[in-house]
Copies of this chain bind each other. A is one copy, B any other.
Amino acid sequence: MSEDVAAETLDRLLAVTLLLGADMSSHLGARGLTESRAGVLHVLGQSGPTTQRTLADALDVAPRTITGLVDGLVASGHVTREPHPTDRRATLVTPTEHGAAAAADLVSGRLELAGQLFAGWWPDRLVAFNDGLDVVLDTLQSLLEEES
């Protein structure tokens, strides 16, 4: 009985991830961004001009991948490559005005989405749902640590 409900819940959770992903990437596409490139922009928005090596570590991705992502962001005018002031090996990736505006748009878009999703919820329900997500998050983290 409870197992059926658990399976249903997982199904719903998976369906939510699908739709959430679709919604996010439709917003990104409208701004000429992809998910990975938006991730780079997001890190830049929080840390300011950043080394590609730092970006690779922050996004847990190979340095070569950052090269490609930054190539794309430079081509679309979201970002520039500047020489590092003290380390001549490194380059600093810096958002342009256009890129900073896009990053700000994404943040406000996420706030708007949060509002749309949870607007009609009375506080207790929202808090309970949030707690539930927290438990799921912890469990998933433990599971992933076990596997690795």
Q: Which residues of A contact B (CB under 8 A)?
A: 2-3, 5-10, 12-17, 19-23, 26, 110-111, 113-119, 121, 123, 125-130, 132-137, 139-141, 143-144, 147
Contacts and interface: CB of A to CB of B under 8 A. Distances in A.
A119 to B, nearest CB: 8
A117 B134 CA distance: 11
Copies in the complex: 2
B117 A5 contact: no
Contacts of A13: 16, 20, 133
Given A23-B143, A129-B129, A132-B125, A115 B16 contact: no
Contacts of A10: 110, 113-114, 117-118
